[in-house]
Structure 1
Amino acid sequence: MRRGDAVPLYHQIFLALRDEILSGTRAYGSTVPTEHQLSERFGVSRITARRALDELSDMGLVERRRRIGTRVIHRARPAAIDADIDQTVESLLAFGRDTAVRVLAFGAVPADPGVAEALGIDPQMEVLRAVRVRYKDGEPLGRIVSYTPLRFADVLTETALTTAPLLELLLRSGARIGSGSQTISALSADPELVEALALEPRAAVLRVERHVQDDAGTPLLLTIADYRADRYRISVDLSASGGRR
């Protein structure tokens, strides 16, 4: 603690706890030290410790409940991992070629706000939506819902999607993949996924949401894929940046 500093002691404690929460060191749902514990840790009065906790609560980082204590309610964003887009595209193409596919639905639909934002268009503009199930060794592996701009309607047809991966069809049309991002999360299968993937009710699935842009930064594709947790895994090779070891 920097006593005599222009920053009040309670705010210094708040800043220390805030940084722990925002960095994920103090995770969502974890308990925060009590006023008594904070007063001992920082050598301040309980009134000062209480003001720090109040400031965390006012910021929406913690929830304070009598006789239960204070817990973290902020979910820290996971750190991004850089990957080579060319290697990622090659992996996706190989995955598509090594699995069989069944198209459940295909056609033009109005874009909801989330899809519109991902594709850089106005809500309710039409986009191409494809719903597919991929199979490995005759067993369902994942359901993939993809959205692409309507300008690819000539190359993206229901028949074409049964013969080649969607990314390969985009490349055939002249699109150039420039960048992308993906978010991986876990969830329980809803009734539609249970039926599509032959799962037990509320079985665990792995969701991969992927955004792809061309070399000019124009959105090309939004994919939301749900994979069976017992049949699918993701491996990432990591290395130190700048050659550090």
Structure 2
Amino acid sequence: MKNPIAPGSQAEQVGRLLLAGALVLFLPLIPFGAYLLYPFVILTTWFHEMAHGLAAMLVGWDFQRLVILPDGSGFAESFTPIEAGRLKRAVVAAAGPLGPTVVGSLLILASGRRRSWRPALYALAGALIVSTFIWVRSPVGVIVLPLVALILVGIARSDRPNLERFTLQFLGILAALSMLRDWNYLFTESAVIGGRRVLSDTGAIEAALVLPHWVWAGLITLLSALAIGASLKHALKEDGSTARL
């Protein structure tokens, strides 16, 4: 007879991560599943566009607004000086596709340490509310992002540690796998967003740093895979050393 999986064990952690991944991949395929996932698709767009905006601020530009469209696409507008250097342009462009990976990695890491679960949920909820107030300028964003924030606060206050951890795992995997949803965008030179044809993120990097957009897309994909893999490995190691629930 096989031994049951112990609560809080590494095997249980792996099972939860696999369940989170299955939900992300297959929920859109079941009736009404896409509607259930929709607020979190909007969340991954927020990860992407906020990364553009914060990177713009980091290089000294003026981050003006963030727009999320009903189809889940979006854009971040920043005032870009005419004399802006090529490297700065490339950094701001690369931040978008790397943003969900960075956030996903941090959420997965947080899921491996019990004392991080509730603070991570509160921090993400707070960031959603603050950014909505300051930068978000579209009905979808103004409605959905605070709703997601309220859900996260409710989970953090539910006094259900397993739910808190699974939420972090689910959101981390969702952010990590959002690159699959944006795969065509990542490997294309331009795209139509909001009715306008614009350079894709990798197309903008190509324009700034010469090498073809697919080279940058491949490099971003590799960096993302390494970051997510490292975060999963570390989270599983941390989880195996924490106290049982």
TM-score by length of 1: 0.25
Select the structure of larger CA radius of gyration. 1
Which structure carries more relative contact order (alpha carbon 8 Å, separation 6+)? 2
Larger helix fraction of residues: 2
Larger strand fraction of residues: 1
TM-score by length of 2: 0.25
